[in-house]
Amino acid sequence: MAHADLATERTLRSEIDRTERNRRQIRGWLAVVLFALFALVIVGGATRLTESGLSITQWKPIHGVVPPLSAEEWEEEFRLYQRIPQYEQMNKGMTVDEFKTIFWWEWAHRLLARGIGVVFALPLLFFWLAGRVERRLRLPLLGILALGGVQGFIGWWMVSSGLVERTEVSQYRLATHLVIACLIFAACMWIYRGLSPHSGDAAPTRRSQTMAGIIAAMSLFQIYLGALVAGLDAGLSYNTWPLMDGAVVPVDLFVQQPAWINLFENPKTVQFLHRAGAYLLFALVLAHMVVALRAAPGTTHARRSVLLFALVTIQAVVGITTLLLQVPIGWGVLHQAGALVVLGFAIAHWRGFIGEYPRPTAIEVRD
């Protein structure tokens, strides 16, 4: 009996060590994926701010990897762009060299998106075939892969909205595209954090985990509102703070009919909602930090709540500066990067209350 118990203990230790090695490898892979997704969102933001997103008017998932390689090919690509309303109404008279500038932004965005598909799919296939993916992770990782594939279709669906009657893409589709990208980022962060070691500190209060989840959801919602602001160019007007149009709550927020459409199509209303959402997020994070510091000072959760508050505060300062400067490209990209940093940390903070994925047990080893 003693020999059986000793053999089981050794087998368990071996299985735990193997699990830890596999988790380190998968964490390393997911860290690369997270960095690539971060870069993709930033390049996408720059593409939007430079009005480059409509420069490639055809969707060629495979052939589109190769850019124009000759003067004739550049002329053909430029002729396709000259057929859409954006050229006629905004860029008429643009030269081929000027066109190349906006083309490269969109091409880089699409190439990076394709590259992330490869960076995610091939290592996943390797880890899966090598038996290094834990059973509990298989469906979530396949779900992320599938969502990434859908995101490619959503990206073209977004671009196509600006090729016929509009000079820019639909704000609805832009917001959908950005939110899906952020969901993929958040899902990768969730799994990455679940595979990482956790502290043994208890949650400061019974509601701390719930509040952390609300903060993470609110961070994502703020990104959605920010995408509507970007899609409507709402940040280019009412460039004052803390007052907006001379008031804390400006007038004419619901001048369009039906009233609900102002929430999505009235630049003034959308910018006000984005401001209000920022105030609410700031208040939630502040309250979360104060409660954690009072209930459990010195714990890992309390320290992370302080860091989360610092990140949200910095993001608020960057957002206000971006608004006051009328959205210069550099500040606009920085603001979008900050939003993703806040979201990523909020997801990791929330996941920290749940604990890491369970390791093998003696019962599982015997089975």
Q: Could you report the per-residue pLDDT of 315-360, keeping only the tens digit for each?
A: 999 999 999 999 999 999 999 999 999 999 999 999 999 988 887 6
Tell whether 34 and 159 lie within a shared domain.
yes
User: So what's the pLDDT on residue 12?
Assistant: 63
Whether residue 367 lies inside any domain: the answer is: no
> What's the one-letter identity of residue 9?
E
CB 229 within 8 A of CB 264: no
Helix ranges restricted to H, the chain:
2-49, 71-82, 85-90, 96-129, 135-160, 171-194, 208-231, 262-265, 267-295, 300-324, 329-352, 362-366
Determine whether the annotation assigns residue 63 to a binding site: no
Tell whether 271 and 303 lie within a shared domain.
yes
Tell whether 36 and 92 lie within a shared domain.
yes
User: 337: burial class by Cβ within 10 Å (0-12, 13-18, 19+)?
Assistant: middle
> In the listed set 196, 224, 240, which residue is the last one of a domain according to the structure?
196
> In the listed set 146, 179, 196, which residue is the last one of a domain according to the structure?
196
Token reading at 300:
């890992």
Tell whether 184 and 205 lie within a shared domain.
no
CB 185 within 8 A of CB 344: yes
CB 309 within 8 A of CB 286: yes
User: So what's the pLDDT on residue 56?
Assistant: 93
User: So what's the pLDDT on residue 365?
Assistant: 41
Whether residue 364 lies inside any domain: the answer is: no
* Domain count along the chain: 2
What CA–CA distance (Å, rounded) separates 307 from 132? 33
Is residue 270 helix, strand or coil? helix
> In the listed set 165, 196, 227, which residue is the last one of a domain according to the structure?
196
What CA–CA distance (Å, rounded) separates 90 from 54? 12
CB 336 within 8 A of CB 42: yes
Token reading at 21:
């090695």
Determine whether the annotation assigns residue 349 to a binding site: no
Residues of the domain holding 167: 1-196
- Low-confidence residues of the chain, pLDDT below 70? 1-10, 12, 360-367
The three-point CA angle 325-329-333 to 5° equals 105
Q: What are phi and psi of 247, to 5 degrees?
A: -145, 160
What CA–CA distance (Å, rounded) separates 50 from 283? 33
Place of tokens 């990076």: 112
Whether residue 147 lies inside any domain: the answer is: yes
